[in-house]
Amino acid sequence: MKFTAEQIAAALNGVVEGDLKAEVSTLSKIEEGKPGSLSFLANPVYTHYIYSTKADIVIVNEDFKPEKPIVPTLIRVKDAYSAFTSLLEMYQQTKNNKKGISEKATIAGSATLGENVYIGDFVVVGENTVIGNNTKIYANTSIGDRCKIGNNTILYYGVKIYDECIIGNQCTLHAGVAIGQDGFGFAPQSDGHYKKIPQIGNVIIEDNVEIGANTTIDRATLGSTIIRKGVKLDNLIQIAHNVEIGENTVIAAQTGIAGSTKIGKNCMIGGQVGIVGHLTIANGVKIQAQSGIAKSIKKPDSVWEGSPAFHLPDFLRSYVHFKNFDHIVERIRRLEEKH
């Protein structure tokens, strides 16, 4: 599908400088621009590319002042980066605008499907499960019995959702996500073996949550594991049974959260963080990558680092001594030799 500079400018509330009828059918980075593509310039570091790019249309800030002639048609907007992001969203929506139900899908007779859904090849939908309007379910996804999937949600290839789990509206689950498998609950017995504790709860994922590829969220032993609205989870994260993650918290890849820990809203957790079970993390807390959290963090908006982690200002002061520890030991040894 092709769009003219005039059409794009209208969508972005921008002003065309150049050929109103210039057409594009794809997007590109400015340094890799090619004929028929649309690009943008927001970072001054890339300014020199605008004089050599082959892109036919470039979105720029309204105050951009070229130092020499430019071949592409320009669209001037208030914020080029935000405008291009909006175009990417539109492009993504167009690309994902799939509808219809594959003949290769298996859908229980008691399941309820909303309007304008897409269900791909080899999808399985269980008994009494409800799928919302405009939801897209890609190939090889399996949804268990008595689940509820909201409106405008996307489940990409190979997502697995166990029985009785709830996914909200406008959620995105990427390939290989597993929701609602048993929590890691085993009771040690007197003869040394472990007896499995039945996990009879579920997982609740609220609205506007995005979950990266191969992330796993265990069902609760009792009650629910809960991911609150607006949470963003990276790839390869493990969330254990009965965990609760507060609104708009973001967590980077390879983080693991043990059972029954409660994380507040608007937290930022770096990659490869480990959090032990039954803790409480206050609102707005930031945890640096590769930190190990072994106790509750009660101070809101605080920053933590290290393993075991402690308050960042204390960590930075201590780190000065960590680096000099071998010299300190040597000084102590010499003092001991004098005595």
User: What is the residue extent of each domain of the chain?
Assistant: 3-95, 100-315
Give me the torsion for CA of 298, 304, 307, 310, rounded to 10°: -60
Determine the pLDDT at residue 323. 72
Q: What is the pTM of this model?
A: 0.84
Q: Do domains 3-95 and 100-315 have the same CATH topology?
A: no
The pLDDT tens digits for 41-90 are 999 999 999 999 999 999 999 999 999 999 999 999 999 999 999 988 88
Catalytic entry in 48, 174, 193, 241: 241
152 SS3 class? coil
The pLDDT tens digits for 127-157 are 999 999 999 999 999 999 999 999 999 999 9
Fold type of domain 100-315: UDP N-Acetylglucosamine Acyltransferase; domain 1 (2.160.10)
Q: What is the CATH number of domain 3-95?
A: 3.40.1390.10
Sheet containing strand 57-61, strands side by side: 15-17, 73-77, 57-61, 37-41, 26-27
Q: Does 174 participate in catalysis according to the annotation?
A: no
Instruction: Report the DSSP beta bridge partners of residue 198.
Output: none
3-state helix, strand, coil split of the chain in percent (to 5) is: 20, 30, 50
The pLDDT tens digits for 6-39 are 999 999 999 999 999 999 999 999 999 999 999 9
